[in-house]
Amino acid sequence: MKINRRDFVKSSAALAVAGVPSLFAATAPVELPAEHIALLRARKRRIVIQHDVYWVHLKYLKMHPDGNVPFGPFRDAVFSYVDEPGSQIDAIWWDIAGNAVGSVYPSKVFQPEIHPLAKRWHEEGTDWVLELMKETRKRKLELFWNHRISEVDVLPEGGHAKVPSTLKLEHPDWTMPVSWWNHPMWNLASEGLRRHKVEILRELIKRFDLDGIQIDFARHIPCLPAGRQWELRRHVTEFMRMVRMMSLEEAKRRGRPVLLAARVPQTMEGCHIDGFDLKRWAELHLVDVLTLGTRTMDVDVEGIRAAVGSDVQLQPCFDDHHATDGYRYAPIEFLRGVFSNHFQRGADSVVTFNWAMGTPEVAEKVGGEIAPLTHQQAFRSVGDPRTMAGKDKFFAVERRGGYPWADGFFNRNDTAPLPLKLSRKGESAKLVMHISDAPGTGGSAATLTLRCILYGAGKSDMFDVRFNSATLSISVCDAEWKDSQIFSPKPQPPSGGKGNYKINPRQKLLRIDCEVPSSIWRQGENTVEISISSGDEKLSSMVQLEKVEAHLDYQERL
């Protein structure tokens, strides 16, 4: 009997969706319809906002103890920055199911206790999630659902649950212990869990008029047993295949494509550690868009592009709540530096996560993030390299830590080079600095200043600073510098919280500034070297390099 290869691929994929192992599924690429490929190639984005409104939903209810909780002001607030003139937001990827899936809308797959405000609005005739989707459509914005693959257990009314969700208690074989949380997390090595999640996602596509779904692995890892992630990577690949085949079925049913995205770590090394085989996903046509990282400014777009090819769109993400260590709520020049670097390194679009939905006045009305107006400025500029050209920027080297809620690589920034101990014996610390702009571009002259912030430097310590192997002269040496987001000698606290950092008046950091001639720096990757050239070697205290920045200032030509 001769078996048609295309029929065999389709049959194997159907078995995989049903949870039946398929020998052929491991090697056969998924065949994407022509209209799916055409849509993907035509789809252009500037800024995608991953809009986390579930926790705002919780706070909004608490702000109305009288029980009168109008939907209209909430709806208007969450679209505030989206609706401003000049906004470069082209897509809203709704991050709504912060609690157990189904708690914010009626579900036939799994219905936990529904959130009290969602229940109240439903009883009043308002399907709040559906209304947000409709409002997104009115604005002609791309509409995705972000599915957190392994969220922590929280109560419907807010706060951490004392016991795991009923689903975890009923299916302990779907879970695994983790070191950072007192409840087990989901384990994608479980066939039953994979099938359950596919049906949850199928229900979402049927219920809401989505352009696509993002599988969000950032919340939280591991999603495979710690220490065995790469060994067990086939289970995540199989899950992505199951989701792809289901979404293609639903696309055929409704008559238009469903795109598939995944949020993964910002380097191939990190994906390897956490069990995400991006190269294999691309070979099997399992993903259309990859969101890279969460709270990092140093994203290896080039390395991931080399692994997945040009058919997969890449978009780095920057979280300004659990921000990269030392740079929460940084000035607009920093945000320009982060996002312009992403585009210079080959990004197709960029993503913001945990950003303010509107000005402090708007956010305060519904319990949203109270953030500086730099978010408002950024939404009008960081989605297009042209609107950042010739504008002041500063670039920084990544700092470690600040995110203890993970077993693995994602979110932690553990491989970042700073802070870095400097020896008084002359050894040089060598760092990489990415600069998006080339000297002499942007229609105006530009000066570049290298800034190093150190802790523990003695009065006798002298420093040698090099940029791309050229020795720089020190123009500023400030021994009374202060930085509210450096806590040495105390440990750095976890990221997040209200972000109200206060200056310690007794803090003494050393700031060193060096002018970098335009003949020395270049667009793209640069190297910075710093060493203690002389000092008292008998001192037992270590000098710690806390921050390294390159400030690019433009002056208009006369």
> Is the domain of 114 the same as that of 17?
no
Query: In this predicted structure, what is the pLDDT of residue 100?
Result: 57
> Is the domain of 41 the same as that of 17?
no
pTM above 0.85, yes or no: yes
- Note whether residue 317 is domain-resident: no
- Note whether residue 496 is domain-resident: yes
Query: In this predicted structure, what is the pLDDT of residue 541?
Result: 72
Query: In this predicted structure, what is the pLDDT of residue 58?
Result: 80
In this predicted model, what pLDDT tens digit does every residue of 179-225 receive, in sequence order?
Answer: 999 999 999 999 999 999 999 999 999 999 999 999 999 999 999 99
- Three-state SS for 176? strand
- Note whether residue 288 is domain-resident: no
Query: In this predicted structure, what is the pLDDT of residue 255?
Result: 97
101: left (phi over 0), alpha (psi -120 to 50) or beta: beta
Q: How many CB atoms lie within 10 A of CB 554?
A: 17
In this predicted model, what pLDDT tens digit does every residue of 27-40 receive, in sequence order?
Answer: 789 999 999 999 99
In this predicted model, what pLDDT tens digit does every residue of 305-316 receive, in sequence order?
Answer: 999 999 999 999
> Is the domain of 15 the same as that of 42?
no
pLDDT band at 457 (very low <50, low <70, confident <90, very high): very high
Radius of gyration of the chain (CA): 25
> Is the domain of 159 the same as that of 233?
yes
Average of pLDDT values for 158-168? 83
pLDDT band at 537 (very low <50, low <70, confident <90, very high): low
90-94, 186-190, 443-447, 493-497: least confident range: 443-447
Q: Give the Cα separation of 551 and 239 in Å (integer).
A: 44
**What's the total number of domains in the chain?**
3
Identify the residue with better confidence: 18 or 370.
370
> Is the domain of 127 the same as that of 212?
yes
Beta strands 470-471 and 462-467 are antiparallel
- Note whether residue 273 is domain-resident: no
Average of pLDDT values for 269-282? 98
Check pLDDT > 50 for residue 379: yes
Q: Give the Cα separation of 475 and 448 in Å (integer).
A: 12
- Note whether residue 407 is domain-resident: no
> Is the domain of 179 the same as that of 230?
yes
Query: In this predicted structure, what is the pLDDT of residue 7?
Result: 40
> Is the domain of 76 the same as that of 176?
yes
Query: In this predicted structure, what is the pLDDT of residue 538?
Result: 65
Dihedral over alpha carbons 257, 289, 190, 158 (to 10 degrees)? -100
Query: In this predicted structure, what is the pLDDT of residue 54?
Result: 81
Tokens of 202: 């199928």
Query: In this predicted structure, what is the pLDDT of residue 13?
Result: 39
DSSP type of residue 172 = G
Query: In this predicted structure, what is the pLDDT of residue 67?
Result: 83
> Is the domain of 455 the same as that of 505?
yes
The CATH number that applies at residue 115 is 3.20.20
User: What residues form DSSP beta bridges with 143?
Assistant: 92
Q: Give the Cα separation of 284 and 61 in Å (integer).
A: 45
Express the helix, strand and coil content of the chain in percent, nearest 5 each: 30, 25, 50
> Is the domain of 5 the same as that of 61?
no
Among 508, 457, 458, residue whose Cα is nearest residue 482: 508
The CATH number that applies at residue 459 is 2.60.120
Average of pLDDT values for 236-257? 98
> Is the domain of 20 the same as that of 97?
no
> Is the domain of 149 the same as that of 252?
yes
Average of pLDDT values for 418-444? 88
Q: Give the Cα separation of 325 and 321 in Å (integer).
A: 11
> Is the domain of 2 the same as that of 48?
no
Contact 146, 93 (CB under 8 A): yes
Tokens of 503: 């200056």
14-18, 82-86, 224-228: least confident range: 14-18
Q: Give the Cα separation of 483 and 5 in Å (integer).
A: 63
In this predicted model, what pLDDT tens digit does every residue of 314-358 receive, in sequence order?
Answer: 999 999 999 999 999 999 999 999 999 999 999 999 999 999 999
Query: In this predicted structure, what is the pLDDT of residue 19?
Result: 42
- Note whether residue 294 is domain-resident: no
Check pLDDT > 50 for residue 547: yes
- Note whether residue 403 is domain-resident: no
- Note whether residue 369 is domain-resident: yes
Contact 160, 167 (CB under 8 A): no
Q: Which residues form the domain of 3?
A: 1-25
